[in-house]
Amino acid sequence: MAPPPPPLMDDLVGEILLRLPPEEPANLFRATLVCKPWFRILSDPAFRRRYRLFHRTPPMLGIFQNLRHDNTIPRFVPTAATVSPCSPPSLDCWFWWALDCRHGRVLIYSIGPTNLFVWDPITGDQQHLPVPAYAYAYCTAAVLCTAARCDHLDCRGNPFLVVFVGTGDRDGVTWASSFLSETGAWSTPTTVDLSASTTVDVDSFIDTRPSILNGDALYFTLERGKSILKYDLGERDLSVIDAPVCEQTGIIMTAEDGGLGFAGTEGNSLHLWSWLAGDDSVVGWVLCRVIKLETLLPIHNPYVPPQAIGFAEGTDTIFLDTDVAVFTLELKSGKTRVWETGGYYSFDFVVIPFMSFCTPDLAMGRLLLP
C-alpha cells in the first residue's frame, strides 16, 4: 500500500479555511472540531482579521421582521439553514421593534416603558439609552460606528452614534437629535418645518423604516416613501428631497454608482433611480434601469404588482413583496431567492437585514447551530 500523503502545511490549511464562505458561518465552527491544528489556526486573531479582509463585505446572516400592527417582538429569519434564530434580548417591556441594523448592532425601540437599546445579537451585549426628551408622534432612528479610520468589518467595542428622528402630531415639524456613546447625552435637536415646503404634504411624517448611510449623511423616508429626509452627520442639518414618482411605495437604497438611490415598482417592473448633483448645482433623479420582474418572479395575480420593501446596505440586494412570497433580488446577477412564502403586501411589514461576520470566538452558541 502506498504511504499516506504528508499532512498539509499550516499556511496552506489557512489559505483553504480562509475561503470558507462567511454566509455559512457554521462551517467555521465545524472546522475547529476537525483537529487541534485547525482549531489553533481558526482561533488565531490574525486569521480572523485576514478572514474579514479577504471577504470584505459582512454577510447577511438574516433579517428582523417588524409587523407594526402586532404588539409582538420582531422575528429573526436566518439566511442559511446553518444559522438558527438568535435568542431575543431580555428586556423589561411589553414589546419592542427593531429600528435599524448597522455595523453589527441592532437598534431597538421598546414600548412599556419607552426606551432605546443597542444590541449585539451575536455576543448578546446590550446598552440602554434614554429616549430624547422631545415630543413626537412618529419616530425612527439609526445606529452607526463612529470609530476613526474603522473599516467596519469588526466594530465591536467601538464608540457608536444613534440618530433619533421624530415628527410632531400634525404640526409639520420633524426633528433629529444625536447620541454619542462617548458622551452619553443627546444633542440639541435640529428641526425642519415640513409645512413650509410646497412639495411635501402638510401632514407628512417620518416612516418607521431603516435608514441608508451614504457618504456623510443618513437618509430616511417620509410619508410612506413619498419624500426623503437627509440628515447631514457633520453639520447636523436636515433637508428634504422629493422622491421619484412611482405607482407603489418606494424605498431608498444605494445606487449602482455608489450614491443615493431609490427603487419602486411600476406594474411588474422595478425602476431604479440615482440622485445626481452636477458641478453647477443642478440636482435631480435619473432613471438608470428598469428590470422586468415577470421574468424573474412568479406573479399569480397581475392586478397585485410586486412592491419593494427593503434593501441590504453594502450589497446590491433588494427585498420584494409579492402575492406569492417575499423574495430577494440581487441586482447585478439577477439571482432571486424565496425568503418567505405568503406575501404580506403591507407597508407595515418592515424588513431589517442584519449583517455581520460571525466567527467561533464570538457567538458562543448564541446564533449558530453546532
Q: Are residues 198 and 98 in the same domain?
A: yes
Separation between Cα atoms, residue 92 and residue 101, nearest integer Å: 21
- Inform me whether the pLDDT recorded for 156 exceeds 80: yes
- For the residues 114-124, what does the mean pLDDT come to? 90
Q: Are residues 108 and 195 in the same domain?
A: yes
- Inform me whether the pLDDT recorded for 368 exceeds 50: no
Separation between Cα atoms, residue 144 and residue 214, nearest integer Å: 12
Global confidence as pTM: 0.89
Q: Are residues 43 and 147 in the same domain?
A: no
Q: Are residues 304 and 170 in the same domain?
A: no
Domain of residue 106: give its range: 59-243
Q: What one-character DSSP code corresponds to residue 368?
A: B
Dihedral class, residue 48 (left if φ above 0, else alpha if ψ from -120 to 50, else beta) = alpha
Q: Are residues 76 and 223 in the same domain?
A: yes
- From residue 152, how far is each of 25, 140, 312, 345, 369 by CA, in Å? 18, 23, 15, 33, 25
Q: Are residues 97 and 201 in the same domain?
A: yes
Q: Which of 117, 78, 77 is nearest to 97 (CA)?
A: 117
Q: What one-character DSSP code corresponds to residue 195?
A: G
* Residue 370: predicted pLDDT: 41
Cα 113 to its chain centre, rounded Å, is 25
Separation between Cα atoms, residue 300 and residue 294, nearest integer Å: 10
User: Grid coordinates standing for 266?
Assistant: 411600476
Helix (H, G, I), strand (E, B) or coil at 333: coil
User: Grid coordinates standing for 38?
Assistant: 485547525
Residue 23, in any domain of the structure? yes
Radius of gyration of the chain (CA): 22
User: Grid coordinates standing for 98?
Assistant: 427593531
pLDDT tens by residue, 16-67: 899 999 888 888 888 888 888 888 888 888 998 999 999 988 988 888 887 6
Separation between Cα atoms, residue 42 and residue 64, nearest integer Å: 29
Q: Are residues 190 and 276 in the same domain?
A: no
Q: Which of 23, 16, 5 is nearest to 41 (CA)?
A: 16
Residue 341, in any domain of the structure? yes
Averaged pLDDT score across all residues of the chain: 84
- From residue 291, how far is each of 256, 269, 273, 288 by CA, in Å? 14, 5, 12, 10
User: Grid coordinates standing for 309?
Assistant: 420593501
Lowest mean pLDDT among 36-40, 175-179, 347-351: 347-351
Query: How many domains, the chain?
Result: 3
Residue 292, in any domain of the structure? yes
* Residue 170: predicted pLDDT: 66
Residue 248, in any domain of the structure? yes
Residue 188, in any domain of the structure? yes
Percent of the residues in the chain that have a pLDDT greater than 90, as a whole number: 35
Q: Which of 155, 363, 9, 58 is nearest to 17 (CA)?
A: 9
How many Cβ atoms are within 10 Å of 71's Cβ, its own excluded?
A: 11
Amino acid at 32: T
Classify the C-alpha dihedral 18-78-308-243 as positive or negative.
negative
Q: Are residues 229 and 298 in the same domain?
A: no
Helix then strand count (H, E) for the chain reads 5, 24
Separation between Cα atoms, residue 285 and residue 108, nearest integer Å: 33
Separation between Cα atoms, residue 182 and residue 184, nearest integer Å: 6
Amino acid at 348: D
Amino acid at 91: L
- The DSSP annotation for 62-74 comes to EEEEEETTS-SPP
Of the three residues 184, 211, 243, the one that is the final residue of a domain is 243
* Residue 118: predicted pLDDT: 95
Lowest mean pLDDT among 78-87, 92-101, 130-139: 78-87
- For the residues 134-139, what does the mean pLDDT come to? 89
Residue 367, in any domain of the structure? no
pLDDT band of residue 329 (cuts 50, 70, 90) is very high
Q: For residues 204 and 173, is the Cβ–Cβ distance under 8 A?
A: no
pLDDT tens by residue, 266-286: 888 999 999 987 655 567 899
